Amino acid sequence: MIFVTGPLFAGKRDCVRRLCGLTEEEFKACAVWDAQELVPCEDLTALAEELSQNRIVIATETGGGLIPMDPAERRRREDAGRLACLLAERAETVIRVCCGLPQLLKGEWP
C-alpha cells in the first residue's frame, strides 16, 4: 500500500496519480482519500487494517495549527493522527506531499 499525507490542498491526489501513472478512473478504482474523515472510530487498528487493503490511501494532516477548544474536536484530531501513524506503519511506501512536491519518507518510489 502507498500512504500519502500532507497539508490540505497540497496536491496529494494529482501527485500520486502522476507518480503511479494512473488515469482518473484507475485512480478512483484503487485509492481512498480523506481517510482522516473516517474518525472518530471505535477501533482505529481495525480501520487501518481495512484501509491498508487498498493500493493507495491518502490522508490530510490535521495536527498543525491551533488546538481546538472543544474536547470532541481535540479527540477527533488525535485519532486522525493515530490513524495516520497506523497507516504509515502498514504501508510499503509513505510519501508526504507539500506544494505539489513529493517527499519519500519510507520505501521506494512507485
What secondary structure does DSSP assign to 24-80, as a single string? HHHHHHHEE--GGGG-S-S-HHHHHHHHTTSSEEEEE---SSPPPSSHHHHHHHHHH
* Preceding peptide of 40 cis, ω within 30°: yes
pLDDT of residue 9: 94
- Please give the radius of gyration of the chain, using alpha carbons only, rounded to the nearest integer: 14
Give the pLDDT band (50/70/90) at residue 6: very high
106 is written with which cell numbers? 519510507
pLDDT of residue 63: 78
pTM above the 0.85 mark?
Answer: yes
Give the pLDDT band (50/70/90) at residue 66: confident
Q: List domains and CATH numbers for the chain.
A: 2-106 (3.40.50.300)
